[in-house]
Chains A and B, each alone.
Chain A
Amino acid sequence: MLEEAAAPGPAGAIPPAEHLLTIDRLCKTYQTRDGGRIEALRDINLAIGTEEFVAVVGPSGCGKSTLLKILAGIERRTSGSIRLAGRPLDGPTRELGIVFQTPVLLAWRTVLNNLMLPVEVQHRDRASHLAKAQALLALTGLDGFADRYPFELSGGMQQRVSICRALVHDPSFLLMDEPFGALDAMTRETMNLELLRIWKESRKTAILVTHSIPEAVFLADRVVAMSPRPGRIAEIIPIDLPRPRTLAMFTSEAFGRHVGHIRELFGTSGRLDG
């Protein structure tokens, strides 16, 4: 049950040709200052289909953020391989959009110039991406804020800008590291719905790391449950809830069944801080 082959996607098993991202026997070991070794990730095998939404849940210390950082090229893996559309992935890639827990907006840049950061850094054509940037701002309800500075925006609005920034250069996959962890519960639900809408419109492959089991079940096609010390995949749970998802589904029987099942895996209350 640990193998991706045993975990069917939303429309049954995904044939290997349609895998956008393939993670094979990935391991990560940290060297501590006193010469010790900490095994953060052990034998991670995961294949993610094109336009699939995968959520990774697990308690603190299960290495889910480390996994994301390795995929983003911010950290190096110790062993194993990652392939993106068949080609080895060994560092940062232009095909990636990323959202962190905090918005990480550069304070001296306007909303628009923050949004255009990937375009600028990757020397893409600014003029042709400006329209895309404006469209993304409109899509996230931020039209009219292009020339504002981050400190003039609320936390939820800032995080929307960072999501727009992750999409502006039209990457093939989107990584999100607890993107709504710092928001209040109300804003968080709204942002979940909004994220689904953006994901559906932009047709991206999405990998979301979260502490919240309900959030993972609500958003994802498959939930990857990880266990800590060393971080490894405990189970991959396909979520068969129909799309588009609505807030009413939070109370549905199928939703409760999935959440209950994953909670049992961890034996906790649903939020996995700890």
Chain B
Amino acid sequence: MNPLAGMEGSADGKAAGVVGEEPTSHLDRNAILLAVIFSVLTIGGWELIVRFFRVPSMIMPAPSAIATSLWKGLASGIYPRHFLVTFLESIGGFGIGAAFGLLLGGIIGTSPLLERAFYPFVVSLQTVPKVALVPIVIIWFGYGINSKIAISATIAAFPVLANTIVGLRAAPREEIDLLTAYTASRWQIFRTVQLPQALPYILVGFDVAIVLAVIGAIVGEFVGAQAGLGFLILQRNLYFDTAGEFAIIILLSGMGLALHYLISFAHRRIVFWNPRSANQNP
């Protein structure tokens, strides 16, 4: 073993290694403590104000009323049933939209000709407010789950498409030169350098898309549906059951949060080598 190499190794360990782990976890503990205090104060304050000023439950229900409604809905099986519908619509829409975005982005991103020809269309489609298409999509696909999946997929496809195109351009010139010098084919360059370099971008696209997919499903249910949490919100609204609406919103936030964490987790596992991804907050 080269003694100098060893020296460099240890110097490197100091430079790139874990810089002061203890202060970081200390910081984490304080942050959690602060967040808990903030939550308790907010919810407690809300409860007190509603009770003290006798705010009608229809206008602003107390946190306790929302919790009761949430519990009743869950126990009766009504919330889980509608939750499942919206969840399947979101996941289905995300899956189809992401696959479409990846495929189209992959084709456009690897061909300068196609990129020049079709990128303007991509940009102009991106500016179309997709929500405005919802009534039309419902005419095409009906009131069932299919129309919600279609809407969800339409909205989710764009961030994946755009990020795939940008990501495929992210490979540094030298890495492509290196592969070229070693006689790599275009397909080998794509597989060995361009695709891995695009992954951090694609996963950020997934993260945005999954949240948008949930929104797409709910908007679809607002316009016309027989089931789902969006449908349920409208129903509760009709009966002035504001506590119920808040309870459903909590469920929806939970769904979005869980899906976002799932993607973030996958992101950190897949692009562990990218310091920006590794340090990214979940």
Which A residues contact B (CB, under 8 angstroms)?
69, 72-74, 92-94, 96, 98, 100, 102, 104, 106-108, 117-118, 121-122, 140-145, 149-154, 156-157, 160, 187, 190, 194
Q: Which residues from chain B contact A69 at a C-beta distance below 8 Å?
A: 177
Flag if B9 contacts A154 (CB, 8 Å). Answer: yes
CB of B11 closer than 8 Å to a CB of A: yes
CA–CA, A103 to B11, complex, Å?
19
Flag if B174 contacts A102 (CB, 8 Å). Answer: yes
CB<8 Å pairs between A and B, sample of 20: A72-B177, A72-B181, A73-B181, A74-B181, A92-B181, A92-B183, A96-B181, A100-B177, A104-B178, A108-B271, A117-B178, A118-B182, A121-B182, A121-B192, A151-B275, A152-B16, A153-B9, A156-B8, A157-B5, A194-B2
Instruction: Give the contacts of B170-217 with A (CB-CB under 8 A).
Output: 172, 174-175, 177-184, 188, 192-193, 196
* Known contacts A104-B174, A106-B192, A108-B271; is-contact A154 B183 (Cβ 8 Å): no
| Given A151-B275, A156-B8; 11 other pairs, CB 8 A cutoff | A74-B177, A92-B180, A96-B182, A98-B181, A100-B178, A102-B174, A106-B192, A122-B183, A141-B2, A160-B5, A187-B8
* Known contacts A106-B196, A140-B5, A157-B9; is-contact A93 B174 (Cβ 8 Å): no
Q: How far is the CB of A189 from chain B (nearest CB, A)?
A: 10
CB of B274 closer than 8 Å to a CB of A: yes
- B: contact size bracket: 20 to 34
* Known contacts A104-B175, A154-B11; is-contact A93 B183 (Cβ 8 Å): yes
Instruction: Give the contacts of B200-236 with A (CB-CB under 8 A).
Output: none
Residue of A nearest to B178 (CB): A104
10 smallest beta-carbon distances between A and B, as pairs? A141-B2, A141-B5, A154-B12, A107-B273, A72-B181, A108-B273, A154-B8, A92-B183, A121-B184, A118-B182
CA–CA, A190 to B5, complex, Å?
10
Residue of A nearest to B6 (CB): A141
What secondary structure prevails in chain B residues at the interface with A? helix
| Chain B CB within 10 A, most for which of A117, A154, A157 | A154
Flag if A190 contacts B4 (CB, 8 Å). Answer: yes
Instruction: Give the contacts of B253-273 with A (CB-CB under 8 A).
Output: 271-273
Q: Which residues from chain A contact B15 at a C-beta distance below 8 Å?
A: 154
Q: Which residues from chain A contact B2 at a C-beta distance below 8 Å?
A: 140-141, 194
CB of B1 closer than 8 Å to a CB of A: yes
What secondary structure prevails in chain A residues at the interface with B? loop
Flag if B1 contacts A143 (CB, 8 Å). Answer: yes
Q: How far is the CB of A229 from chain B (nearest CB, A)?
A: 24
| Chain A CB within 10 A, most for which of B8, B184, B196 | B8
CA–CA, A117 to B184, complex, Å?
10
Flag if A92 contacts B182 (CB, 8 Å). Answer: yes
Q: How far is the CB of B14 from chain A (nearest CB, A)?
A: 10
Q: How far is the CB of A71 from chain B (nearest CB, A)?
A: 9
Q: Which residues from chain A contact B175 at a C-beta distance below 8 Å?
A: 104, 106
CA–CA, A246 to B4, complex, Å?
17
Q: Which residues from chain A contact B275 at a C-beta distance below 8 Å?
A: 151
* Known contacts A104-B174, A104-B178; is-contact A151 B16 (Cβ 8 Å): yes
Q: How far is the CB of B37 from chain A (nearest CB, A)?
A: 37
CA–CA, A61 to B103, complex, Å?
42
| Chain A CB within 10 A, most for which of B4, B5, B182, B274 | B182
